[in-house]
Amino acid sequence: MNYEIEFIRSWLTDESCNIAADILTVVGMGGIGKTTLAKYVFQLHSNKFNKSSFIEGIDAKCKENSNGMLDLQKQLLGDISKIHNVSVYASKINNALVRKKILLVLDDVGCLDQLDALLGNEAFHQGSKILITTKDASLTDRCALFDLPVQPNHKKLSLNGLYRYESLKLLCIHAFKSNKPKEGYIEVSEKLVKYCQGHPLALEVLGRSLQKRDVGYWEECIKVLNKEPDSRINKALKMSFDALLSKNDKELFKHIACFFVGIDRDVTETILNSFDLNARYGITNLIERCLLSIGWNNKVEMHSLIQEMGRHLVRQESPDKPWERSRSWCHEESFKVLEQNQVEVMCACW
């Protein structure tokens, strides 16, 4: 991630704007390295500002605790107070932040309410830097700061995963405590790197779980992963799916994961619209949530781990009876479905 690190360093040290604050939104799927990257640059540069604050895991803390946002506001303000009202605390934050050049990192922001409660609706001190990590690419542009007469300067940085050589190095660090594979493990390491498709969390989780295991165990692990995703990795990826607000978008995601990866977007939308799924609207939402992308050739693209997560959701509808699932895409299982002659199923043949 050398490019991404240098991009953020350059942004942090850029003082060309002397009117408004600068905002950088780092966008990517769960486990892609947003928090790790933000922590790294925060530790390097926080001492160059009057004040700094790193608020980690915002979405999870707000969901786990009814007072989660109030606790986060207290952390940001750094003030022991008896105030128990979120809106009042937001006002105090505004008053404090407008007077100081600060570095503020808001990690894993899940919705607009969270962002507005922490950023408020008044301009920050000039020269302040706000770094936001999120799975929703549309979030920052909709916050209250962009309703001000003088809007912040806003840039986005999308994290798409590690290159192959970076992936192999990360896997080996966790599996072998080395930068390269042990003798005899090169081929299986390359297979695992290909499976993870540059996803840092997947490489870390699998690398740790395969420490001190023989090559045969690695091979069996890869076979199992091709049938069923690792639950720890799947949990991180599924957060973006769970954050989808409409049933339409969730159904659309599962349809695409099962049938439409690699298919032209226009063709995909035409077919899905025939099922009253509002495809153009939904696909835009899925792109903003980092669940899919559109390639240069207008074809629908999806990270292989995200696609497997979507298919796993469908399998879990009926693990042992494929004819009771909402979708069937595997040839062998499709024959079983047809033998039952009792299910409505969406089919795709290309």
3-state secondary structure at position 346: strand
Residue 336 is predicted with a pLDDT of: 66
Distances (CA, A) of 84 to 72, 80, 113: 12, 11, 17
Beta bridge partners of 104: 53, 130
Higher pLDDT, 285 or 331: 285
Confidence tier at 114 by pLDDT (50, 70, 90)? very high
Structure tokens at 187: 């081929």
Rounded CA separation 192/202 (Å): 10
CB-based contact 63:92 (threshold 8 Å): no
Residue 334 is predicted with a pLDDT of: 66
Residue 100 is predicted with a pLDDT of: 78
**Which tens digits make up the pLDDT trace of 120-179?**
888 888 889 999 999 999 999 999 999 988 889 999 999 999 999 999 999 999 999 999
Confidence tier at 259 by pLDDT (50, 70, 90)? very high
CB-hemisphere CA count at 13 Å for 223?
A: 6
Higher pLDDT, 13 or 96: 13
Would you say residue 26 has pLDDT above 60?
A: yes
pTM of the model: 0.87
The stretch 94-114 carries a mean pLDDT of 86
Query: Residue 299 carries which DSSP code?
Result: B
CB-based contact 5:40 (threshold 8 Å): yes
**Which tens digits make up the pLDDT trace of 8-24?**
999 999 887 667 789 99
Q: Which positions ≥6 away from 298 have C-beta within 8 Å? A: 264, 265, 266
Rounded CA separation 312/331 (Å): 16
CB-hemisphere CA count at 13 Å for 340?
A: 14
Higher pLDDT, 306 or 75: 306
Residue 332 is predicted with a pLDDT of: 66
Would you say residue 115 has pLDDT above 50?
A: yes
Would you say residue 110 has pLDDT above 50?
A: yes
Rounded CA separation 192/171 (Å): 9
